[in-house]
Structure 1
């Protein structure tokens, strides 16, 4: 699979204004992605198609041979001469053979066709399973590639429950449709078409009856599909809601139990589960109508064949015949017993083919609904562009020359509306190597401001400069590779302590890991574990305490010795002494690193070179601890309240 091509295709897709208004993506935009996912399997598809073609031909030969067996074997054996002797059958110009010969001949050929059809079916089933599984693997990877490129703003539009449903349930719906389409769609379409051709060539009257009936049934089924597609989209959204309830309950199980809210969470889940049941029942009930319609249509065709054939042979056998049954066939019966058997068998095959195609139509309706949801991810416009400037004599987009940071009239709005900023405009220059503390009330814009530095968000207006160059001019790998970040929500990944620390530096040695752990005051507790660095870490880091998790995240950030380090309230779960020691370690170890430390407690940042005080997204004060106590009323109030032990 061409991973780069898939990523480029996904990255280039985005909603137009009309798409966003309807919350739909143009299928023409996403078609190249689905095609690219299918391309690597084209050889298997051709082989599978050939196997299915021969499977269909061998299966369709069986009713034909059965008809010949009846006509040349059974009927031939029963035909009597005027003298009462068996009538010999002459084939191909003069070889007299007993009628039993044809029974053995055609019977043997039928058995041979059945065995060959089974062999082709086995090959086709295995290939279709491989094709569908490989296809959906590539599609899942593509969805994940696109989601990995999302900025924080994009991620907000796709909660975990929604992405989880897309990567599991929605992808499975598409996989099962592809599997059945490759396995049965080709075959049953060919068999239905060939059956129609054969019926028309054998008896145009039966064909004239069958064609409009099938056309009417098909039109009704299409109408049902159009009606149920929105219902299946609602079904997938209801699955999202169920997953979201499960996620909230498991993630917040401690809070649920602490507040005795088990009953409330059960009611929420029952409501979500009930909604899913109702929507599923409605959509499935409507779609299942296609089955009875198909069965009724084919049964009418079979009945017509039996009635016309039976009455035709019955009346034509009478002396003088009957014009009603012979006028359509040049004075002869519409068909003999062998042809009646063949037509009935082909009608039965047609019944089976349309039953499978009806089921495929149901699967298509589900898969199309899932595809529309996946298209929403593939067409999501990433609001941060990653197009670095070319390298020049004065600028290298793949490397930060220093940790100097400057905010130039920087303004950021979550709503993309400069009149409603979350922070700014702010103009501030921080020399390389300074330690900057940031404090302010809840919602004052502390995290929003520092998230602009590594481009977790992009400024709405103004600019953020590092080493004198706009952060948007750097390659994102270079920018974030030289910036260490410990976010407000600390996350550890499933693995070991070693593997989590190595997120900061892939090839870190044990000595480097231990040094980083010492800086973060995590060395002692890590090596108190039986397995040390190889101690398992469960998803989310729930196997360690909150303070331990924070210190491991700090170690992960400092191990790469970044030019800029951002600590977003990253010692809130640590005691004052541990917090003080971490700051001292950072000052001694990362002397040339520019550090931004967000904190709620003044004691955690008062030893910083400068302290930035934010209030409702604006600068309320900037200076040393002593300067702010004199010149910034808000800072002085915070210090006074915290000194009294009041939060």
Structure 2
């Protein structure tokens, strides 16, 4: 896990090392100052020698300025290293998510990915900044101070050998107790973000069903859990402070008591025992040691909180796409022909291989031949795996067994970008992004001319409503396309797909929100303008596919029948029942654009 995260350090390694070096130098300056103070008391104030007071006074000032200088540099480089590290982590996670296949994406919720990119990275950033500054400064300070204390008085230094292990043991207990709590906190954060995302995306449904109070209550409950877990964890961590204060006061009292007795016994003679300056020095070092321990306890607490975040970030970084390019990929697709040869497919889960084998196939023994330039309709009940079938063509998922060929070659032989550039797919859930209509359409082809954009929109019957907008193609699309109707959104997505000039065009129920007249115009445009493009149309309405060259009837992941409209009406029970129900009731063929 640590090794995975440190790969994101890259150009900020130098800043990290400079932080460590400056922190050590700051500690050295801070340790020298009490020595100078001890000499000032013993050789200046006690002996009444002003030259010595000036000498050590100026030395203390110089070392204090040096401490300030190195402390400032340490803070600067530490902030730079931590902020840069977190920026690289976010970038690396985001880049890795972009490489995921659909099966990889299925393992993580959107809310979970967002939490990892924001809250978890912030926790790691804070922990790393404390680590390279305080976690270095603390042990170095303790070690140096203890060595100096030993040189002054071995007897008094033994106090630290008793207090420090006892304190360390208590801190370990606190950390072990608090770590599982913060693991639960971040899981609950995922659930909370998921609720927010669902509510914002579905706000129209929430208001339609008057569920505002229910959603508020739902959010309050999950927010209350986060509050309770955090409070429980912070209460345990808060034990650090009184524990440290108790140890500090005990040490100070013991040092003062034992040191005072030694000074009285030696008559404040350095040759015979301890001096007042030595006692002041020891008290200063004891405070520095105990303060360093307190800071270390805070660092460990922060690292404990961040450790759960580190695991979650590493999990996302270590996830590798299960769909990759072959060693020597084919860089061009010959045509739009498609062949399914005994194809089986099942969705993967995080379970073991034995469980995977027991899972039911979503698609079973699919054998199909689609010639280049054909128009193919796919009909079937909800859950018959229509979408799963077409998602195999551009390798959004890989077949579990069997062979799928496009243009006469196995899809696994192609360069992924080449294959997906040749297959344009308008998904069941249409997505538009914030920006103008023009910007959204250019997703299909960034270099498309204005004339090509207008042609694609005409083929998708989108030009008629675009030209009615005051700003035309520069009309602003809000997030998710919330300011256009469902039918308009579908037609824009079809136009965007057409701009790719694909060899295969897949419409996954992508005209369900348009009226039958517009649907018919789109089908006619496809026949006339895209004769060489293979067109696969998934639809619930018979009218959308009845003119297709062949229609595939799917039933529970199996091919039930293949034929033309007339053949299927005559020979296939499933198709005939759908046709008769829509004809008898008027079905969706009479629907208006949504």
Write the mapping of 1:273-422 to structure 2, written as runs, cut at 5 A: 273-317=223-267, 332-333=272-273, 335-382=274-321, 384-390=322-328, 397-415=330-348, 416-417=356-357, 420-422=360-362
Write the mapping of 1:257-276 to structure 2, written as runs, cut at 5 A: 257-276=207-226
| Alignment partners' CA distance in 2, 1:555 and 1:356 | 60
| Alignment partners' CA distance in 1, 2:69 and 2:294 | 23
Q: Residue in 2 aligned with 1:487?
A: 427
Tell me, yes or no, if structure 1 residue 216 matches structure 2 residue 184.
no
Matched-pair contact (CA < 8 Å) for 1:546–1:573: yes
Q: 1:314: how far off?
A: 3.0
Matched-pair contact (CA < 8 Å) for 1:612–1:621: yes
Write the mapping of 1:119-134 to structure 2, written as runs, cut at 5 A: 119-134=69-84
Tell me, yes or no, if structure 1 residue 172 matches structure 2 residue 122.
yes
Identify which of 40, 44, 55 aligns with 2:11. 40
> Which deviates the most, 157-166 or 512-521?
512-521
Q: Residue in 2 aligned with 1:532?
A: 472
> Which deviates the most, 239-248 or 417-426?
417-426
- Where does structure 1 differ by over 6 angstroms across 4 or more consecutive aligned residues? none
Q: Residue in 1 aligned with 2:352?
A: none
Q: 1:47: how far off?
A: 2.7
Alignment partner of 1:76: what SS? coil
Cα deviation digits, residues 53-107 of structure 1 (max 9, x gap): 2222222222111111111111111xxxxxxxxxxxxxxxxxxxxx111222211
Q: 1:227: how far off?
A: 2.3
Tell me, yes or no, if structure 1 residue 107 matches structure 2 residue 57.
yes
Matched-pair contact (CA < 8 Å) for 1:445–1:614: yes
Matched-pair contact (CA < 8 Å) for 1:233–1:373: no
Matched-pair contact (CA < 8 Å) for 1:522–1:552: yes
Q: Compared with structure 1, are the counterparts of its residues 535 and 45 closer, same or farther at alpha carbon in structure 2 (3 Å cutoff)?
A: same
Q: Residue in 2 aligned with 1:498?
A: 438
Q: Residue in 2 aligned with 1:608?
A: 548
| Alignment partners' CA distance in 1, 2:243 and 2:576 | 79
Tell me, yes or no, if structure 1 residue 556 matches structure 2 residue 470.
no
Q: 1:345: how far off?
A: 1.0
Matched-pair contact (CA < 8 Å) for 1:294–1:358: no
Alignment partner of 1:444: what SS? coil
Q: 1:123: how far off?
A: 1.7
Q: Compared with structure 1, are the counterparts of its residues 389 and 67 closer, same or farther at alpha carbon in structure 2 (3 Å cutoff)?
A: closer
Matched-pair contact (CA < 8 Å) for 2:477–2:483: yes
| Alignment partners' CA distance in 2, 1:123 and 1:529 | 57
Q: Residue in 1 aligned with 2:402?
A: 462
Q: 1:340: how far off?
A: 0.6
Identify which of 574, 578, 583 aligns with 1:634. 574
Matched-pair contact (CA < 8 Å) for 1:298–1:350: no
Q: 1:574: how far off?
A: 0.7
Q: 1:389: how far off?
A: 4.7
Matched-pair contact (CA < 8 Å) for 1:238–1:276: yes
Q: Residue in 2 aligned with 1:4?
A: none
Cα deviation digits, residues 116-174 of structure 1 (max 9, x gap): 22222222211111111111111111111222222222212211111111000000000
For structure 1, the 5+ residue unaligned runs are 1-26, 78-98, 319-325, 392-396
Identify which of 510, 513, 522 aligns with 1:570. 510
Q: Residue in 2 aligned with 1:233?
A: 183
Cα deviation digits, residues 408-461 of structure 1 (max 9, x gap): 111111254476121222101100010101111110111010011111111112
Tell me, yes or no, if structure 1 residue 445 matches structure 2 residue 445.
no
Q: 1:483: how far off?
A: 0.6
| Alignment partners' CA distance in 1, 2:551 and 2:413 | 28
| Alignment partners' CA distance in 1, 2:130 and 2:223 | 29
| Alignment partners' CA distance in 1, 2:483 and 2:63 | 62
Aligned residues: 580
Matched-pair contact (CA < 8 Å) for 2:101–2:323: no
Q: 1:249: how far off?
A: 1.1
Matched-pair contact (CA < 8 Å) for 1:482–1:563: yes
Q: 1:272: how far off?
A: 0.7
Identify which of 68, 80, 90 aligns with 1:140. 90
Report the TM-score when normalising by structure 2. 0.94
Matched-pair contact (CA < 8 Å) for 1:418–1:461: no
Write the mapping of 1:416-435 to structure 2, written as runs, cut at 5 A: 416-417=356-357, 420-435=360-375
| Alignment partners' CA distance in 2, 1:525 and 1:214 | 76
Identify which of 36, 44, 60 aligns with 1:73. 44
Q: 1:532: how far off?
A: 2.5
Matched-pair contact (CA < 8 Å) for 2:425–2:507: yes
Cα deviation digits, residues 593-636 of structure 1 (max 9, x gap): 11110011001111111111111111122111111111111111
Q: Residue in 2 aligned with 1:96?
A: none
Matched-pair contact (CA < 8 Å) for 2:323–2:398: no
Q: Compared with structure 1, are the counterparts of its residues 414 and 646 closer, same or farther at alpha carbon in structure 2 (3 Å cutoff)?
A: farther
> Which deviates the most, 146-155 or 373-382?
373-382
Q: 1:465: how far off?
A: 0.8
| Alignment partners' CA distance in 2, 1:295 and 1:465 | 72
| Alignment partners' CA distance in 2, 1:34 and 1:156 | 23
Matched-pair contact (CA < 8 Å) for 2:4–2:318: no
Structure showing greater Rg: 1
| Alignment partners' CA distance in 2, 1:613 and 1:256 | 36
Matched-pair contact (CA < 8 Å) for 1:613–1:635: yes
For structure 2, the 5+ residue unaligned runs are 349-355, 588-594
> Which deviates the most, 373-382 or 189-198?
373-382
| Alignment partners' CA distance in 2, 1:543 and 1:193 | 65
| Alignment partners' CA distance in 2, 1:270 and 1:44 | 42
Matched-pair contact (CA < 8 Å) for 2:240–2:294: no
Matched-pair contact (CA < 8 Å) for 1:232–1:280: yes
